[in-house]
Amino acid sequence: MVVVSALLIGVLYVLVNSFIPDRHRRPFNAVMVGGAGAAYLSGGGLGPWEFAITAVITCCAYRGLTSWTWIGIAWLVHTAADVAHHLHGNPIVPFAEHSSLGCAICDPVIALWAFAGGPGFRSTTPAALVRALRLRRRQAADR
């Protein structure tokens, strides 16, 4: 049940964000992932590593203000932090034992959307996301 609900939350996040106008969507998501990076600071159980993880995600989020790729990277770093917290630290939501695991499942869904360029609502079908990822890969190869 954790897997299904986490995947649904990731898809819901993508769908809701797809309605944000294009010019605001990337900066909004950069701020969101920056905030998510600080989620464990109040007692995640990994000691000084909490600050290192937050610093890395904050740097990625800053770069994400102008690049969807960096937003995707930040979500994947947050996924790694979620896995570490699930295995060795405290859950992100203190009263929900598997919340870090759920977050680790949800975050890559958001990262894939970010790597596809954070497309709008009309472009969020699975086939459209695959086309967007392929297009971005071709554009990166041409540079």
Examine the pLDDT at 123 and tell me if it is beyond 70: no
CA distance 15 to 39: 23
Residues 111 and 60 sit within 8 Å (Cβ to Cβ): no
Residues 2 and 102 sit within 8 Å (Cβ to Cβ): yes
Examine the pLDDT at 89 and tell me if it is beyond 90: no
| Helices and strands, number each (H, E), in the chain | 6, 0
Per-residue confidence at 44, pLDDT binned at 50, 70, 90?
low
- Average pLDDT score over residue span 19-45: 88
Task: Show the DSSP H helices in 19-125 as ranges.
Answer: 22-37, 49-64, 68-88, 99-115
CA distance 18 to 2: 24
Per-residue confidence at 64, pLDDT binned at 50, 70, 90?
very high
